[in-house]
Amino acid sequence: WSMAQSELANKYCSISNASKLKVLSALTEDSSMTSIARENNVSVNTVQRVLGSCSHHFLDSYEYLPAHLAFDEFKGVDRQLHF
């Protein structure tokens, strides 16, 4: 019992590395995981696994503060009916 292995896909994996890179690229845009999965013909779980596989590169360090902080404000519209 052997599993095919090549540069196109990792061992024991049925999704190509190119597809994973495309999913990873799509994760940088303002899209939901569901839409990314649909556009790339993979499952939402696959999108989550791709994101999880690179999350160790972005570990939070609380040793310092970044040079710039951004705050976003949102003010809702008061929707009262006037007769």
Q: Is 51 exposed, middle or buried (0-12, 13-18, 19+ CB in 10 A)?
A: middle
* pLDDT 10s digits, 28-59: 898 999 999 999 999 999 999 999 888 766 66
Evaluate whether residue 9 is within a structural domain: no
Evaluate whether residue 76 is within a structural domain: no
pLDDT at 81 over 70: no
Q: What angle do CA 72, 23, 13 make, to 5 degrees?
A: 140
Evaluate whether residue 4 is within a structural domain: no
* pLDDT 10s digits, 56-75: 666 666 777 778 878 877 66
The whole model's pTM is what? 0.60
Domain that holds residue 21: 17-55
Structural domains in the chain (count) = 1
Mean pLDDT of all residues in 13-32: 88
Q: Tokens 């024991």 belong to which residue? A: 12
